[in-house]
Amino acid sequence: MCELLGMDCNVPTDIVFSFTGLRQRGGNTGPHADGWGLAFYEGRAARVFLDPGAAWHSPLARFLGENPIKTVLAIGHVRRRTRGPISLANTHPFIRELWGRHWVFAHNGTLRNVRRRKLGRFHPIGTTDSEYAFCYLLETLRTTFPTYPRSPRDLWEAVAKVGGVLGRDGSFNFLLGDGRHLFARCATRLSYIVRKAPFGIAHLSDDDVEIDFAKVTTPNDRVAVVATAPLTRNEAWNQGRPGEMWVFQSGALRATLQSGT
Amino acid sequence: MCELLGMDCNVPTDIVFSFTGLRQRGGNTGPHADGWGLAFYEGRAARVFLDPGAAWHSPLARFLGENPIKTVLAIGHVRRRTRGPISLANTHPFIRELWGRHWVFAHNGTLRNVRRRKLGRFHPIGTTDSEYAFCYLLETLRTTFPTYPRSPRDLWEAVAKVGGVLGRDGSFNFLLGDGRHLFARCATRLSYIVRKAPFGIAHLSDDDVEIDFAKVTTPNDRVAVVATAPLTRNEAWNQGRPGEMWVFQSGALRATLQSGT
């Protein structure tokens, strides 16, 4: 299995605090040492930092901690492999272009039966069930809409629907970004928190690190963070229910949709 | 305009020496300070490090210099913008998936008339003529072959042909990688060198740095390096002729094809 991390904000924010917690699970407090990745959006484009090694020992992970990149939308992943060997091609998050924007995807779970589904124009490069599912998901969106949908809700519902379909193939917790939204589907385990004024002090669960958000934010800032398991021990995280999909935009939860069971 | 850097080898090699020279041109010895990028293949997958800032001042560029990634195929670019503002989306090299492998592309020149060409399934995310041309190039390959061609020469000739077509829209020096080949088209300025035994000492043109390749190689190593302008001052680089396209594989020049005029 793996651990997911997503962040969606209304002003560019660095993800260092949350990523510090996630890194610990990549070989120290957790066994997810088979690769990690972190994607940062800038408008419709994303850049993805990938490393097939353990996040806990990774010089690149340390570099990103020391040289924060501010973004309004980030998706991270630490991997403990179940299907597919350790390699760059099998390292999440995966990225593709559709409708002139980047889509970024990370998955936690196993989809045993996904390969019987027919793909279209998107093809996996690696051998994971996760990337296969991402290709199927994007192909479904592409054949549903000729261009990026004008109605956001149409898009949200289409993502929830295909999420539910793929969810029947196994366990499908995922994060998906399109530069505007962060989609987060819970199959078995997923939590989120929205931080806004008045900001307080947060303590990481996985490390002896705390941060006073009041000192690094303005009163209008709003930051949603999604993770497989709560990253802090003194905040109230919202637990997802199986088959629930959240849509975040500008640091707020815009919708909770049913996405299968 | 911009500067290109490509490397193709028969054993995993780090690109630090050549990238050190290229970095200098990204804001120090050269004016190409509007973003830079460096892509590294591992099999069919590539990871791309992108930075919209100047390579010369970039902490990420310094990090890659201090933490070398070995690869058999790399493509780098430092940008001096002509079309399209400075942004992540406009930073080369660009990357797309086709036939289950990553394709990586970097361009030097300006294609004034490229936007009248009709695109298909690949769409630019940014606003450069370069990414537009890349999308057109991939669409042409996709509609020419249903899958990755069994005959390498068919692929080489198709790339050369579409390179010649796009070359009519302006100035089209490019590097293109598919994980197996490095394609390098010269429109105005491009050079290459193949280093093999007996290895000697090379001095960078842009910095007071030298390397004794005999100390860091084995007798069977073979490394082809392509750059807009020769990166060393004591080696004999081969200058490209306008409309010529080179195909490198496993560190050797496999073919020189005509690609327009």
Distance from the A89 Cα atom to the nearest Cα atom in chain B, whole angstroms = 5
Find chain A residues with C-beta within 8 A of B44's C-beta.
89, 125
- State pLDDT tens for residues A116-133: 999 999 999 999 999 999
Distance from the A141 Cα atom to the nearest Cα atom in chain B, whole angstroms = 13
Contact B163, B258 (CB under 8 A): no
CB contact under 8 A, B96 and A101: no
Please say if the pLDDT value at position A13 is more than 80. Answer: yes
Residue A209 pLDDT: 87
Closest residue of A to B58, CA-based? A67
Active site residue ranges of A:
2
**CA dihedral (B140, B145, B146, B148) positive or negative:** negative
Please say if the pLDDT value at position B80 is more than 90. Answer: no
Least confident piece of the model among A77-86, A91-100, A107-116, A171-180 = A77-86
Residue B31 pLDDT: 83
Measured distance CA(A90)–CA(A94) in Å, rounded: 9
Measured distance CA(B92)–CA(A113) in Å, rounded: 37
Contact A252, A194 (CB under 8 A): yes
| The residue count for chain B | 261
Question: Measured between CB atoms, which of A59, A97, A126 is closest to B123?
Answer: A97
CB contact under 8 A, A42 and B121: no
- State pLDDT tens for residues A176-188: 999 999 999 999 9
Contact B181, B249 (CB under 8 A): yes
Please say if the pLDDT value at position A160 is more than 90. Answer: yes
B112: exposed, middle or buried (Cβ count in 10 Å: 0-12, 13-18, 19+): exposed
Question: Measured between CB atoms, which of A49, A52, A123 is closest to B100?
Answer: A123
What letter does residue A67 receive in the DSSP assignment? S
| φ/ψ (deg, to 5) at B251 | 80, 5
Read off the pLDDT band of A34 (50, 70, 90). confident
Three-class SS string for chain B? Answer: CEEEEEEEEEEEECCHHHHHHHHHHECCCCECCCCEEEEEEECCEEEEEEECCCHHHCHHHHHHHHCCCCEEEEEEEEECCCCCCCCHHHCCCEEEEECCEEEEEEEECCECCHHHCCCCCCCCCCCCHHHHHHHHHHHHHHHHCCCCCCCHHHHHHHHHHHHHHHHCCECCEEEEECCCCEEEEECCCCEEEEEECCCCEEEECCCCCEEEHHHHCCCCCEEEEEECCCCECCCCCEECCCCEEEEEECCEEEEEEECCC
CB contact under 8 A, B125 and A99: no
Mutate to test the interface with B, among A57, A70, A88 (most CBs of B within 10 A): A88
Find chain A residues with C-beta within 8 A of B43's C-beta.
87-89
Domains in chain B, please, with CATH? Answer: 2-258 (3.60.20.10)
Tokens, residue B104? 């990586």
* Residue of A246, A111, A240 whose CA lies nearest to A168: A111
Say if residue A93 is preceded by a cis peptide, omega within 30 of 0: yes
